[in-house]
Amino acid sequence: MNDGQKEIIRYAVTFIALIVVFYGGTVVMRNSLGTANPMMVVISQSMIPTLGVGDFIFIQSIDDFDTVNIGDPPVGDILVFFRPGYSEEYIVHRAIGGTLVEARWVYQTKGDHNAFQDGFTVDQGLVAGKVINRIPILGYFSLFIKTMKGFGLILTLMAVSFFYEDVLPKKTEENRGTFNSLSVAPFLIAPIIILKIWVTPENHADLEIAAIAAWYLGCIVLPLATEDDDMGLMFWLYHLVLLMIPIACDLVWWQAHITPSQWWRIQGSIVPVSWLLMEETNLFNQAFTMIITWLGPGILIFLGLLYAKRSNIVMVKNISDLLRRVE
């Protein structure tokens, strides 16, 4: 077995391990939270700023409906329920009122961002659970790969990472110098900004633009500063897919007001996490074009500099040696 085949096997095992961890974690959460869908993704703006578009939300079952808090924000519990008469349409809104009717609770609900309360009441039998926590923005990843174009883009990037040794020029010399740890600094901006959004979820488009700008700097520095191209490429790829694509998706919402609820012909304000591909709308095509416009040049810069370094282009190689402190 040659080195290339070993590399492919290693990547395949890593990918399978990630899938096992994901589904294993889902099973654990189902058992601990008592719901069939313990983790869902917000796809509309009806609950901002409490729940942002693209947020992962964690849902816990309600064993005793007498304990549900009712009231205006922030008092009332945020419920996840089926829209009355629609067994596959999930809504996430706050319980602002409730009445006990023949030993069953019937709730009046409202989105925090909506001007009016919902035009229907929600029987406790329709309630799947209540929201207990959230992770901002990162839910966009699970939405993005449910589209044909998004799935195709990520599949292409994975293929590049798997077979880059066969596509890019071969190294003509052993690794020299040391890895410059400052080269990863630009990639720390995105997680820091996501933590900031977690604490203060108001309009954060400017922060996301800053994260993309910092990422561009990283796309210039990292391919030149790393002595292990394989590790550098994998780090860059995971950061792109798990952080930068979700940030770009969220920026589409702030800039063009296109939410994931408009990516497909579906109803509701949240969707379960799944691998089901869905046919996208023309509005998603517009959103995808914006995402590629923002991230595409950075992808080309990173891969182009990696190619130039391995091709021993003099100016690029000299900068790389300088960054890696080659004597």
Final residue of a structural domain among 68, 101, 131? 131
Let me know if residue 26 belongs to a domain: no
> What does R_g of the chain's alpha carbons equal in angstroms?
23
Q: Where does the pLDDT of residue 256 fall: very low under 50, low under 70, confident under 90, or very high at 90 and above?
A: very high
CA pair distance 56, 78, nearest whole angstrom: 14
- When mean pLDDT is compared over 78-87, 228-237, 311-320, the highest value belongs to 78-87
The answer to whether residues 123 and 249 belong to one domain is no
The answer to whether residues 76 and 158 belong to one domain is no
The answer to whether residues 170 and 108 belong to one domain is no
Answer whether residue 101 shows pLDDT above 60: yes
Q: What is the CATH number of the domain that holds 95?
A: 2.30.30
Let me know if residue 288 belongs to a domain: yes
Let me know if residue 47 belongs to a domain: no
Q: Is 166 helix (H, G, I), strand (E, B) or coil?
A: helix
What is the span of the domain harbouring residue 303? 143-323
The answer to whether residues 158 and 270 belong to one domain is yes
Final residue of a structural domain among 101, 131, 161? 131
Share of the chain above pLDDT 70, in %: 87
What's the total number of domains in the chain? 2
The answer to whether residues 208 and 272 belong to one domain is yes
The answer to whether residues 196 and 295 belong to one domain is yes
Q: Which two tokens stand for residue 164?
A: 């880059």
For residue 109, the cross-strand partners are 95
Distances (CA, A) of 142 to 19, 154, 198, 241: 13, 12, 18, 10
Question: For 198-211, how does the pLDDT look when each residue is reduced to its tens digit (9 = 90+)?
Answer: 988 877 899 999 99
Question: For 24-69, how does the pLDDT look when each residue is reduced to its tens digit (9 = 90+)?
Answer: 777 777 777 778 889 999 999 999 999 999 999 999 999 999 999 9
CA pair distance 183, 17, nearest whole angstrom: 28
- pTM recorded for the entire structure: 0.88
Burial class (CB in 10 A: 0-12, 13-18, 19+), 44: buried
Let me know if residue 42 belongs to a domain: no
b (16+ CB within 10 A) / e for 152-171: ebbeebeeebbebbeebeee
